[in-house]
Chains A and B, each alone.
Chain A
Amino acid sequence: GQNIDQPTEMTATEGAIVQINCTYQTSGFNGLFWYQQHAGEAPTFLSYNVLDGLEEKGRFSSFLSRSKGYSYLLLKELQMKDSASYLCAGRNQAGTALIFGKGTTLSVSS
């Protein structure tokens, strides 16, 4: 199976840290991706994990545990412009396609 689960909505305040979790069936994927999508726009790539551990990229970090079927996206020093949907996606075993979760809508307030 290739189910990907993530929370539907989250809220946070400016300057805070937020963690968006993503769980998936472990047999399904070869690599986990995070995308950001602002309302009315196309998704844009944030991060990629294929091995266990933490990948850091500025204010954004992503973590993967393949044995637990678990990933998270960590956003630090939140800004109003971080209000968006965050999409977790797994690459299929053949490496030919990405399957997306339903996305988490993050609202950042001042």
Chain B
Amino acid sequence: NAGVTQTPKFQVLKTGQSMTLQCAQDMNHEYMSWYRQDPGMGLRLIHYSVGAGITDQGEVPNGYNVSRSTTEDFPLRLLSAAPSQTSVYFCASRDRGNTGELFFGEGSRLTVL
């Protein structure tokens, strides 16, 4: 049971570089979301999606793009990385059911120099 798979687990970037964090889930969940976690700040919602072709902004969307072309995949793109984007990123998914339990990936630690 793979669940939610994030890649890469670790990445170091230079300021201005671009990259994509990949997220895939095999549970046929409609809802997917990306969070970043910084010390003392908790989990902050970046973008989320309620189904293929539908995305919306969360609390801290600036500097990030997402797309949802399939139910399984929800990549997060950094077009021009900044040191302020150094963080641990978590992808999560859930079904449309009422409990709303989120299933998280293992996280991706990104450092921007």
Per-residue 0/1 for B52-64: is the Cβ within 8 Å of any A Cβ (1 yes, 0 no)? 0000101100000
In Å, the complex CA distance between A87 and B37 comes to 12
> Residue B48 contacts which of A35, A45, A97, A102 (CB distance < 8 angstroms)?
A97
Which of B42, B103, B107 has the most A CB atoms < 10 Å from its CB?
B42
Q: Is A76 an interface residue (CB 8 A)?
A: no
Count of chain A to chain B residue pairs whose CB atoms are closer than 8 Å in the complex? 57
B68 contacts the other chain (CB 8 A): no
Interface string of B30-66 (1 = CB under 8 A from A): 0101010000111111001010000010110000000
Known: A87-B42, A87-B43. A97 touches B101 (CB 8 A): no
Q: Which residue of A lies closest to B103 (CB)?
A: A45
User: A98 touches which one: B56, B98, B102, B105 (CB < 8 A)?
Assistant: B102
Q: Is B102's CB under 8 angstroms from A102's CB?
A: no
B45 and A48 contact, CB distance less than 8 A:
no
Among A33, A48, A101, A102, find the residue whose CB has the most chain B CB atoms closer than 10 A: A102
Q: Are A97 and B58 in contact (CB under 8 A)?
A: yes
A99 CB contact (under 8 Å) in B40, B50, B59, B98 = B59
- Chain B residue numbers with a CB within 8 Å of A96 are 31, 48, 50, 56
In the complex with contacts A42-B104, A42-B106, A98-B45 CB distance below 8 A? yes
Q: Is the CB of A102 within 8 A of B106?
A: no
52-76 of chain A: CB within 8 A of chain B? none
Given the known A-B contacts A50-B98, A102-B40, are A97 and B104 also in contact in the complex, defined by CB atoms under 8 Å?
no
Residues of A within 8 A of B (CB): 8, 31, 33, 35, 41-45, 48, 50, 87, 89, 91, 95-103
Interface residues of B (CB under 8 A from A): 31, 33, 35, 40-45, 48, 50, 56, 58-59, 90, 98-107
